[in-house]
Amino acid sequence: MLKNQEIEVAIAAVTTAAKLCQQVQETKAAQTLAKADTSPVTVADFGAQAIICQALAQEFPNDPVIGEEDASILQKPELSPILGLITHQVQQIRPDATESDIIDWINWGNGQIAPRYWTLDPIDGTKGFIRGDQYAIALALIEQGKVRLGILACPVFPREGNSKGVIFFAMEGQGAWEMPLEGGKLQQIRINSWDDVQQLCRIESVESGHSDRTQQVKLDRKLGLVRPAKQMDSLAKYGALARGDADIYTRVPVPQFITKKENIWDHGPGVIIVEEAGGKVTDLDGKFLDFSVGSKLSNNRGILATNGVIHQKILDIIAEINDI
């Protein structure tokens, strides 16, 4: 049984990291680097990982953290100005932090798989963050290969009125919840239990290269969807599903990504938030997502997250489409 300490520490850490991301965006300080795989990473991704890892290392020193980012790229002499910029951003929150602390904190996220570990995506949807669209700070606690606790801070997620910024979180057996990013009233969230294809709404990545849209069209036609798909960057899609703004989220590996597999940090918190809201998350073959094998979901193929009611129907259609 989880204690409240985990949820309290995790919410405080992601909230602080979200502040850093907003501060970077407001001061137009999101200098971007290209990683070895050509994907972008910004000053804010590194700063957010440093902030969250520092908090987890202090409170749960025996728990490994498997985070997306790695500080080795920052130790190249030509990138020392970037390390200086990250340190400057973190110092707005932790004034005593040194450059060497920042390196150590970021690298705390290089943990190995264990019976209990945390997985962290300091900014999911980096491309969305750079564009000024949705992004999420994502943290999950895994025990025995299963997500037990998940938190998503979504600084630009729309709320009632004109305000923005939502935290979604869920703990096993205790429901899924949302609250304003700056704190305030907790509200329990539930999926829609619609199964009528006239009403069902699918949600997908903004980035067309992150899921196979050719296969998706076949699936949508067979299912008979009529509403146009919503598009949103990041794990915020899982929050949208959990609160009933959408009903279906699929991730169909694009041909060049099939062997690469999904990252644990791109899905961990989303899985438990949708399930605790009454929905279902499996891979495209109906297998549960196995978080016990490493930083990738190597035992799974793609993702299917739904309101639960239409899950089996979609799995049956996927099984009928040969090459999906």
Q: Which residues are annotated as a binding site for Mg(2+)?
A: 68, 121, 123-124, 266
Question: Among ligand A3P, Mg ion, none, what does residue 207 contact (CB within 5–8 Å per kind)?
Answer: ligand A3P
Q: How far apart are CA 170 and CA 179, in angstroms?
A: 12
Considering the complex, state which of residue 146 and residue 213 has its C-beta at the smaller distance from ligand A3P.
Answer: 213
Q: How many residues belong to the site for Mg ion (CB under 5 A)?
A: 7
The reply to whether 68 sits near Mg ion by the rule CB under 5 A is yes
Rg of the Cα trace of the chain? 19
State the amino acid at position 119 in one-letter form. Answer: T
Tell me the backbone φ, ψ of residue 41, rounded to 5 degrees: -140, 140
Report angle CA 126, 131, 136 to the nearest 5 degrees. Answer: 40
233 binding Mg ion? (CB under 5 A): no
Q: For residue 275, state whether it binds Mg ion (rule: CB under 5 A).
A: no
CB of 127 to ligand A3P, least distance (A): 6
Cα–Cα distance measured from residue 19 to residue 36, given in angstroms and rounded to the nearest whole number: 28
Q: Is 72 exposed, middle or buried (0-12, 13-18, 19+ CB in 10 A)?
A: exposed
Nearest to 218, CA basis, from 190, 252, 242, 167: 252
Smallest Cα–Cα separation from 111: which of 68, 59, 78, 171? 68
In the complex, minimum distance from the CB of residue 254 to ligand A3P, in angstroms, rounded to a whole number = 5
Catalytic residue list contains 247: no
Sequence-distant (≥ 6) Cβ neighbours of residue 318 within 8 angstroms: 219, 284, 285, 304, 324
In the complex, least distance from residue 243 CB atom to ligand A3P, rounded to whole angstroms: 17
Which residues lie near ligand A3P (CB under 6 A)? Answer: 39, 68, 121, 123-126, 128, 205, 207, 209-210, 233-234, 254, 257, 263, 266
Is 126 labeled as catalytic in the residue annotation?
yes
Q: Are 145 and 290 in contact (CB under 8 A)?
A: yes
Between 68 and 178, whose beta carbon lies closer to ligand A3P? Answer: 68
User: From the list 64, 86, 124, 202, which residue makes contact with Mg ion (rule: CB under 5 A)?
Assistant: 124
Binding status of residue 245 toward Mg ion by CB under 5 A: no
Nearer to Mg ion, 17 or 242 (CB): 17
Shortest spacing between CB 53 and Mg ion, in angstroms:
14
Q: So which residues are the catalytic ones?
A: 45, 126
Interacting residue ranges for Mg ion, rule: CB under 5 A: 39, 68, 121, 123-124, 126, 266
